[in-house]
Amino acid sequence: MKPINKSKTATHVKGVDAKRTARKASSATTKPQAKPKHLQHPKSAAKPKSDIKPNVKPKTDTKPSNAATKSKVVGEKLQKILARAGQGSRREIETIIAENRVSVNGELATLGDRVELRSDTKIRIDGHLINLATVQKQVCRVLMYYKPEGELCTRHDPEGRATVFDRLPRLNGSRWIAVGRLDINTSGLMLFTTDGELANRLMHPSREIEREYSVRVFGEVNDAMLFRLRKGVQLEDGPALFKSIKNGGGQGINQWFDVTLTEGRNREVRRLWESQGIQVSRLIRIRYGNISLSKQLPRGGWQEMALTDVNYLRDLVGLPPETESKIEQHTQRRRMKTAKIRKAVKRFSGQPSSRRQRHDR
């Protein structure tokens, strides 16, 4: 048996210990390598901040809202309700809402408000309570009015001048709404209604409802001018044109024309002729849609339209037909009013009693 070489064994043990010590040192100083993303466990992957609390709901206002009468989700637009109540066209009502003159159940109304009508709903304009019962029961009525020159298309004039509303019949619970305007020096057909929605749609440019005028011009009119007026000219507020121009007679520099438009901008007929250097000396509106100025109607006179004509206008703008009419109750009153106006026109104008000529030419 060979003797054990102790020195060689000790040297081997020292070598093994040295290797172990070196491995421990290297493992302590070297950082572990991260696993590739596709090998990582989903729970260990970092999450973006927005996904940290996916189930947390945003805070909501817990205060009670007046949803029973005023809401952005339910109900009808306030201006439409007031228009149906005969308080004006939607455009007029939007103006008074913006002027902070309308309240709903004691709260100041703003544009865009919706109201759910209930038995306890109270709407006020300038502090005056509006009768909402007429919103559901309101009968759509339409008047044809022959506006004379010199009358303003406004309800009140600070200078005390005559307005188109002065001669209209009085209403209980609603009021007459003018369908468009005519300037002070223009006469002819005007329509008035108790239905604000009907008035708003009839006036809206998108409906392209025809308006026909008889116009007397002063100046030499040539074919080139008429061509430009039919094709379109540039005005201060945009392009404009006559849909049709028909010669209505006359001689020399005073001629009559019948012109048709499909919109109602301020003084549009006059400005179109002025763009060609021609002055308008007389302007009479004779037709609105299919409604023509009645030959039997005197200046300043009004006539309530029959149900068939009312429904023609409603169908023209996409509104359901009206089923009721009050024209039977006011027929005699209308005739008496027309007779009084005819006498008044004769008295103030100083003209002899005679039937007016067609379109007051």
Return the active site residues.
183
SS3 content of the chain, % helix, strand, coil (to 5): 30, 20, 45
Tell me the H-state helices in 99-222. Answer: 133-137, 196-203
Structure tokens at 145: 């009015």
Distances (CA, A) of 310 to 136, 171, 199, 207, 323: 18, 18, 12, 17, 10
Angstrom distance (rounded) from CA 189 to CA 186: 10
Distances (CA, A) of 281 to 36, 206, 286, 361: 90, 30, 16, 11
Angstrom distance (rounded) from CA 32 to CA 339: 109
Contact 262, 232 (CB under 8 A): no
Angstrom distance (rounded) from CA 173 to CA 135: 10
Q: What values do phi and psi take at 37, rounded to 5?
A: -60, -35
Alpha-carbon torsion, ordered 216, 218, 220, 221, to 10 deg? -30
- Give the other-Cβ count within 10 Å of 278's Cβ: 21
DSSP string, 66-108: -TTTEESSSSEEHHHHHHHTTS--HHHHHHHHHTT-EEETTEE
Contacts of residue 117, Cβ cutoff 8 Å, sequence gap at least 6: 75, 76, 81, 132, 135
DSSP designation for 180: S
Alpha-carbon torsion, ordered 268, 270, 273, 274, to 10 deg? -110
- Counting Cα atoms < 13 Å in the Cβ hemisphere of 318 gives 6
